[in-house]
Structure formats: structure tokens, C-alpha cells
A and B are shown apart, each in its own frame.
Chain A
Amino acid sequence: QLQLQESGPGLMKPSETLSLTCTVSGASISSSSFYWGWVRQPPGKGLQWIGSIFYSGSTYYNPSLKSRFTISVDTSKNQFSLKLTSVTAADTAVYYCAREKGTKLDNWGQGTLVTVSS
């Protein structure tokens, strides 16, 4: 059974760099059938796609977001990661990792809340 699990710090200070990791179990991240993506949701608001990565390392980002995001993959650990530089309070959100299969996001992690506060 496929499972995705986010991990990372829950509390950040402004200007710090956020690093989140998504550990995939029950499937190989090296499959050519999927992309692996990140979605965030500010408190009380809707879903915002951040970007995704293919196992080869090809990345795709939401053009409406500033280029502070970097997504990377570690196939040896079956993980992919998200880095966000210079965080502000506006980056406070639940961050989800998800598997992108074709046109849909068919499996999601439980999400991790990241709070940015001084």
C-alpha cells in the first residue's frame, strides 16, 4: 500500500530556509509513470500547487509563485524534498506531498503544518 509521509520542522523564524522531506513507501519513486509533487494550504484557505519532480530530476514549478522553491529527489532513499528560502509569515501553511499520476493527484501525505513566526 502506497504511503507518503512528510517530515520537517513545525516552527520557523522569518528569513530562515525551510526543508521538508517526503518519504515514499509501498512504491518506487523511480517509476516512470509518476511525478511527485508538493501542495500547500494556508490556514482556512484553498490548495496551492507548488511544483513537482520526475525521478530523473526534471522539475516543474508554479509560475505564479516566486522562485524561492526548490524540489529535489533522492531515489536511493525513495524520498523527495522541498526547500523554501527566506520564509515569511505568508508561507505559514500545511504542506502536503502527493503522487501525480496522469492528470490527477491520487495519493497524498497527511500533511505537515509549518508556522513562520518570530
Chain B
Amino acid sequence: EIVLTQSPGTLSLSLGERATLSCRASQSVSSSLAWYQQKPGQAPRLLIYDASNRATGIPARFSGSGSGTDFTLTISSLEPEDFAVYYCQHRSNWPLVTFGQGTRLEIK
């Protein structure tokens, strides 16, 4: 079973700063990785799929990169609505869905 490890656990940044969130897989997942944003009291929202493709309606300040075992979600310039919890996710061919433990992005 693939384990996804996200870092850091909490990231404290200011408005306008660049955010870099990491997700590491315990074995190669090729480009099969997605990112989600979750705000309090809301369902997760798909941001990025297949490592680097933005989902419909997602602003261009969100970008994803990586392949194999190391992935990054970058938010180029933080807006107030970006402060939330972010999860990475992999779906195997089995199909088994795995989530990372999450990174909380908070206002500094």
C-alpha cells in the first residue's frame, strides 16, 4: 500500500507570499497524484490532477509539479481565500485511494 507523506504539517505565510507544499509517495506513482483544498465546514475541492493539470475553474496561481515519488503544490501569490488545509491523493489501478495527512496553510 502506497503511503503519502505531506510536509510541512503547518505552513505560516503572509498574503502575497509564495507557498510550496510537498507530498512524497512511499513508492513511485508516476504522475497519478491529485491535490485538494479544504476549508472549514466544506467538502474538499479538487485543485490539481495528474500532478500538474488544473481542475476546471482553478486560478492560475495554483500549480502542481513532480513525478515518481516527489510532488509539489505551489501557490504563487497567496490570496486571503487560499488559507485552508491541502491534501494530496493517489488512486492506484486496484483501485485504492490514498490521501496524505494534510498541510494546514495559515496566515502569519
Contacts and interface: CB of A to CB of B under 8 A. Distances in A.
B43 to A, nearest CB: 4
B46 A106 contact: yes
A103 B91 contact: yes
B95 A48 contact: no
Nearest to B31: A103
A55 interface: no
A100 B34 CA distance: 12
Contacts of A110: 42-43
Interface residues of A, number: 23
B97 A100 contact: yes
B24 interface: no
B15 interface: no
Given A105-B89, A111-B43, A63 B97 contact: no
B72 to A, nearest CB: 17
B50 A103 contact: yes
A63 B1 contact: yes
Nearest to B95: A60
A31 interface: no
Contacts of B101: 46
Interface in A17-71: 35, 37, 39, 46-49, 52, 60, 62-64
B91 A100 contact: yes
Interface of B: 1, 32-34, 36, 38, 42-46, 49-50, 55, 87, 89-91, 94-102
Given A102-B49, A105-B36, 12 more contacts: A46-B102, A47-B36, A47-B89, A52-B97, A60-B96, A64-B1, A104-B34, A104-B46, A104-B89, A106-B55, A108-B44, A111-B43
